[in-house]
């Protein structure tokens, strides 16, 4: 059976995600919840830019109509 977008989000609950908003800002945090409009609740949220973490925000609610994408964070490269 084909997975729907909200099924994928459900698999990301309590896991770290990166969220990009329409204004270009990016945030990293643990996905605590969402609804059918893709409104998101993130905990331990940090705002990111090219240089790294800009600001630690804690728990935030993001309005779904501002979300461009939700992605798992990149895996740390193994430096062997």
7: pLDDT confidence band, cut at 50, 70 and 90? confident
For 57-76, what is the mean pLDDT?
89
Provide the CATH number for the domain formed by 5-71 in this structure.
2.30.30.100
78: pLDDT confidence band, cut at 50, 70 and 90? very low
> What would the two tokens of residue 29 be?
């945090």
Look at residue 1 in the predicted model and tell me its pLDDT.
61
List the beta bridge partners of residue 12: none
Could you tell me the pTM of the whole model?
Answer: 0.82
| Per-residue pLDDT tens over the stretch 12-61 | 899 999 999 999 999 999 999 999 899 999 999 999 998 888 899 999 99
Q: Determine contact, residues 42/17, Cβ cutoff 8 Å.
A: yes
């Amino acid at each position: 059976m084909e997975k729907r977008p909200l099924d994928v989000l459900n698999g990301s609950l309590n896991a770290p995600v990166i969220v990009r908003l329409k204004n270009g800002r990016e945030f990293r945090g643990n996905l605590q919840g969402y609804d059918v409009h893709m409104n998101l609740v993130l905990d331990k949220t940090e705002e990111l830019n090219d240089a790294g973490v800009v600001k630690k925000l804690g728990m935030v609610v993001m309005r779904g109509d501002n979300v461009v994408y939700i992605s798992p964070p990149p895996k740390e490269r193994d430096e062997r």
